[in-house]
Amino acid sequence: MAVCTTCPYCGVGCGVLATVHPDGAVTVKGDPDHPANFGRLCSKGSALGETVNTDGRLLNPRIGDRAVSWDEALAQVADRFVATIRDYGPDSVAFYVSGQITTEDYYVANKLMKGFIGSANIDTNSRLCMASSVAGHRRAFGSDTVPGSYEDLEQADLIVLVGSNLAWCHPVLYQRIAAARNKRPDLKVVLIDPRRTMTADIADLHLAIRPDGDVSLFLGLLRYLADHDKLDLDYIEAHTNGFEEALETCGHAPVAVAAATGLSQDELQRFYALFADAEKTVTVYSQGVNQSVVGTDKVNAIINCHLATGRIGRPGMGPFSVTGQPNAMGGREVGGLANMLAAHMDIENPEHCDTVGRFWSAPTIADRAGLKAVDMFRAVADGRIKAIWIMATNPVDSMPDADGVAAALETCPFVVVSDVIAETDTTRLADVRLPSLAWGEKDGTVTNSERRISRQRTFLEGPGEARADWWQMAEVAKRMGFGHAFDWTSPAEIFSEYAALTAFENNGVRDLDIGAYAGIESDAYNSLKPFQWPQPAGVSPISSRFFANGGFFTPDRKARFVAVKTPAKPVEQDAYPFVLNTGRIRDHWHTMTRTGKSPRLSGHIAEPFAELHPGDADRLGVADADIVEVSSDRGVARVRALVTERQLPGAVFVPMHWTDQFSACARIDAVVAPVTDPHSGQPASKATAVVVRRYVAALFGFAIMAGKPNRPDADYWTIGRIAAGWRLEFAHSQYPEDVENFARKLLGLRERAQLLVFRDGRRGDHRIAAFEESRLAGVVYLSTQPVAVSRSWAIEQLAADHDDLSARWRVVAGRPGADMPDKGAIICACFGVGANEIEGAVRSGCDTVEAVGKATCAGTNCGSCKSEIREIIDDCRIVAAE
Ligand code: SF4
């Protein structure tokens, strides 16, 4: 029987039906009854079944390299924390947690740190994702409230997407908008993003704004709305404060806006007129807004425009922050951020501290903000923090100045890491490793971007001795002497306590109230359906939106306009002339500990890359598929060049996913500077000054093999899963002298393997294929240029039969025969359909995505590749017209 649970990836929070088959295989499909996705899933969600195996799992508690009992590990953690607090005070310890853990896990971590240890040094990787939205909400609304719901996207007449590549990062929301546009072509979409991402596919207008030009753009919009009599003066008067000051700081010069944004007057006018005329407008924003030194100001500049037009809290209207992680919102709710208390209470508010302290019967309660993520790791580095517990996250890859974070952890006297994976770039620096339950094994709740709380349910047994994160913390708390407050026996009991806290002395003065679930019993918790908060006790479900009629959570219940100023122009640095933008790709998640297990997901984009504008590439002497080095004053990353008109001149985009487990030198966060927004503490992960250089390679290589490859002795390499084994791309400054020996070592061949070697005398290239009986054990292509072999075809050869000598020579030649067309780069991960196959379908007359889908199946399952299919159709049209 299928189990209803929730996808563990992005903040859309899709409902999933998971089925475990008698052979142990897991299949998933979208839950048609879940209000976030109504049955849809994206490529990552669809492939969840491929990622739940136990490969690489941490199975036992370990102290150093020694497997130990839970009792010994927990005692060690408790003793070291107690001793550190005794000797150096509560602020000498810290927790660094994650938007991957459940709300119940988060609640326990926060209660232990803020109520019993007495420090607020607990922060979360959600700091890297949406802290600026939290700060912006609190400045404007007096509370961290997302006012709207996903259905507003379908009810709007205009959707403005700011710094948000929804097509790849929140694919099901993208699909919902695309479907709404199909039904209602009058629905307009504006995309504001320096890159022409795949989301541009549904945009009527794409504004390729200069990095961090958003504040100026929205200040200009507020001025335009005022000048064109488009304000809702009644709403401003009745429900807000500070409008005049905010308008005053907007300035009056459209020319200045054009200069600050890099947009033409015509583009600005088109956007402003669209916004002014569409009452039902939703402005969606995510990391492109949040990850900036002016992230909070960007959020408030957007909110100001919605407050000024009264477009908030009504159907189809409102500012809408979408979160990156599955439970970023749940963490915010229970105080996972160092500057908040539980249940949306303020740490700087003595009454709130008293309320939470009494509710918990806490011996001590933190009454000032703790260290936010970047400052927390600085404190580890300089010795102020002497013991840190990291849960479900990989800061050695994901934090800015990632090498500095690694160095800090190396010198930290005591590092505990709770994780599901044994070997990550962070676990290798831990003194104690605690095995946690993974998705499918754990049990709890998560909250998505529209305040909808859903259950993550158990459908698999945890392997080895893995245990829930909440249980690990509660056991440590007991050993620290706080047992009475941490004696839950199930997540249902924790949820019940949390729900009671939201209602405790609330009486409508706080936005977050789910008192209806205080005292919930196990059976009701187990069958809990997704619901949106607020849900106070004793009243039937109330409106799913906030603020249509004011009622903000400020002392006078009015919203605050924030008088945002135009940010100063960044100082140009000759030595670092490019702006580095980091982000996600369609089919990978964070540091690839799960998606890296799936051949399907690894097939779409197999290597880390740097997107460069053709003009810049020309100037740098970089060609497509060259290797480039992207460096800042912090570090360097080596990745594949991807030359594309999608990129703005002077900018470079590199994905965040590749770690030392998958690549030689591609941890892009080692390059990102630890510069933060002053209000939110969120790192500016999209605007590091960098230099880009061509890496001069004497050798390029591509290999496939059945077994996991040995790490090559090469300056650049990347490994990835394929259906029957592994693929490897590499480049180096020297060509190997003994190519046979090089290949044998790389492929880890046994003696009996037979080699077929081909040397192209003219180019000096080599191809070496190894066979064991009729089976291809591996093949290596070496060249002085980027290897021009069809990857998808070569990968298929690993599972093919090679009895026939001509088939063997085709592998060596790296060319499919005439009867085996090269499908090209994989576009549709679900059905393994390549770009060449899609192009073929278009050339034979398929001129819509639907027609291509009928002919090839591409895009007919999860639909995540539809924007790429549409782009191929458009490209073919352009070529035909030329
Ligand atoms: Fe998961 Fe995709 Fe839904 Fe995000 S959009 S929750 S990754 S299925």
Rounded to the nearest whole angstrom, what is the distance from the C-alpha of residue 197 to the centroid of ligand 1?
A: 18
Written as six digits, the tokens of 303 are 């909110």
Ligand 1 atom nearest to 171, measured from its CA: 5
Strand partners, 419: 435
Quote the pLDDT of residue 572. Answer: 77
Quote the pLDDT of residue 60. Answer: 98
Quote the pLDDT of residue 749. Answer: 85
Quote the pLDDT of residue 866. Answer: 87
Name the pTM for this structure: 0.95
Q: Would you say the CB of residue 48 lies under 6 angstroms from ligand 1?
A: no
Q: Give the span between the Cα atoms of 302 and 283, in whole angstroms.
A: 8
Ligand 1 atom nearest to 170, measured from its CA: 5
Contacts of 263 (CB under 8 A, 6+ apart): 207, 208, 209, 210, 213, 217, 257
Rounded to the nearest whole angstrom, what is the distance from the C-alpha of residue 30 to the centroid of ligand 1?
A: 10
Q: Whose CA is nearest to atom 3 of ligand 1?
A: 14
Rounded to the nearest whole angstrom, what is the distance from the C-alpha of residue 34 to the centroid of ligand 1?
A: 12
Rounded to the nearest whole angstrom, what is the distance from the C-alpha of residue 450 to the centroid of ligand 1?
A: 14
Q: What is the mean pLDDT of each run of 10 residues along the chain (882 residues)?
A: 96 98 96 97 96 95 97 98 98 97 98 98 96 98 97 98 96 96 96 96 96 96 97 98 96 88 97 98 97 98 98 98 93 94 95 97 96 98 98 97 98 98 97 98 98 98 98 98 96 98 95 96 97 91 86 97 90 89 95 93 95 98 97 97 96 97 96 97 97 97 92 93 95 94 89 87 87 91 93 89 84 73 83 88 90 90 86 77 59
Rounded to the nearest whole angstrom, what is the distance from the C-alpha of residue 437 to the centroid of ligand 1?
A: 20
Q: Give the span between the Cα atoms of 129 and 306, in whole angstroms.
A: 23
Q: Would you say the CB of residue 7 lies under 6 angstroms from ligand 1?
A: yes
Place of tokens 């964070």: 590
Task: Give the residue from 101, 151, 12, 33 showing the smallest Cα distance to 448.
Answer: 12
Q: Would you say the CB of residue 36 lies under 6 angstroms from ligand 1?
A: no
Question: Taking a C-beta distance cutoff of 8 angstroms, is the pair 16, 837 a contact?
Answer: no
Contacts of 550 (CB under 8 A, 6+ apart): 238, 239, 557, 558, 559
Written as six digits, the tokens of 433 are 């490793």
Rounded to the nearest whole angstrom, what is the distance from the C-alpha of residue 14 to the centroid of ligand 1?
A: 6
Q: Give the span between the Cα atoms of 108 and 493, in whole angstroms.
A: 11
Rounded to the nearest whole angstrom, what is the distance from the C-alpha of residue 37 to the centroid of ligand 1?
A: 9
Ligand 1 atom nearest to 43, measured from its CA: 2
Indicate if the alpha-carbon torsion angle 50, 792, 611, 714 is positive or negative. positive
* DSSP conformation class of 529: P
Q: Whose CA is nearest to atom 4 of ligand 1?
A: 10
Task: Give the residue from 657, 618, 667, 624 showing the smallest Cα distance to 642.
Answer: 624
Rounded to the nearest whole angstrom, what is the distance from the C-alpha of residue 863 to the centroid of ligand 1?
A: 12
Q: Give the span between the Cα atoms of 454 and 15, in whole angstroms.
A: 8
Rounded to the nearest whole angstrom, what is the distance from the C-alpha of residue 10 to the centroid of ligand 1?
A: 5
Q: Would you say the CB of residue 814 lies under 6 angstroms from ligand 1?
A: no
Mutate to test the pocket of ligand 1, among 6, 17, 38, 41 (most ligand atoms within 8 A of CB): 41
671 — phi, psi (to 5°)?
Answer: -95, -25
Q: Would you say the CB of residue 9 lies under 6 angstroms from ligand 1?
A: yes
**Helices 127-141 and 373-381, interaxial angle, to 10°?**
130
Quote the pLDDT of residue 810. Answer: 86
Rounded to the nearest whole angstrom, what is the distance from the C-alpha of residue 99 to the centroid of ligand 1?
A: 14
Q: Would you say the CB of residue 45 lies under 6 angstroms from ligand 1?
A: yes
Contacts of 755 (CB under 8 A, 6+ apart): 740, 743, 744, 768, 769, 770
- CA-based end-to-end distance of the chain: 55
Rounded to the nearest whole angstrom, what is the distance from the C-alpha of residue 217 to the centroid of ligand 1?
A: 30
β-pairing verdict for 281-285 and 318-321: parallel
Question: Given its phi and psi angles, is residue 39 left (phi above 0), alpha (psi -120 to 50 degrees) or beta?
Answer: left
Q: Would you say the CB of residue 42 lies under 6 angstroms from ligand 1?
A: yes
Q: Would you say the CB of residue 14 lies under 6 angstroms from ligand 1?
A: yes
Contacts of 284 (CB under 8 A, 6+ apart): 153, 159, 160, 161, 162, 164, 166, 173, 320, 322
Contacts of 761 (CB under 8 A, 6+ apart): none
Rounded to the nearest whole angstrom, what is the distance from the C-alpha of residue 550 to the centroid of ligand 1?
A: 32
Ligand 1 atom nearest to 12, measured from its CA: 6
Rounded to the nearest whole angstrom, what is the distance from the C-alpha of residue 604 to the centroid of ligand 1?
A: 17
Mutate to test the pocket of ligand 1, among 6, 14, 449, 866 (most ligand atoms within 8 A of CB): 14
Task: Give the residue from 707, 697, 770 showing the smallest Cα distance to 739.
Answer: 770
Q: Would you say the CB of residue 13 lies under 6 angstroms from ligand 1?
A: yes
Q: Would you say the CB of residue 12 lies under 6 angstroms from ligand 1?
A: yes
Q: Give the span between the Cα atoms of 731 and 695, in whole angstroms.
A: 9
> Cα–Cα–Cα angle for 857, 860, 864, nearest 5°?
120
Mutate to test the pocket of ligand 1, among 172, 174, 176, 865 (most ligand atoms within 8 A of CB): 172
Contacts of 397 (CB under 8 A, 6+ apart): 424, 425, 426, 591, 659, 660, 667, 669
β-pairing verdict for 432-435 and 414-419: parallel
Q: Would you say the CB of residue 41 lies under 6 angstroms from ligand 1?
A: yes
- CA distances to 742, 751, 772, 798, 808 from 776, rounded to whole Å, are 17, 14, 6, 6, 8
Q: Would you say the CB of residue 208 lies under 6 angstroms from ligand 1?
A: no
Q: Would you say the CB of residue 366 lies under 6 angstroms from ligand 1?
A: no
Task: Give the residue from 142, 192, 186 showing the smallest Cα distance to 163.
Answer: 192
Ligand 1 atom nearest to 9, measured from its CA: 7
Rounded to the nearest whole angstrom, what is the distance from the C-alpha of residue 836 to the centroid of ligand 1?
A: 27
Quote the pLDDT of residue 751. Answer: 78
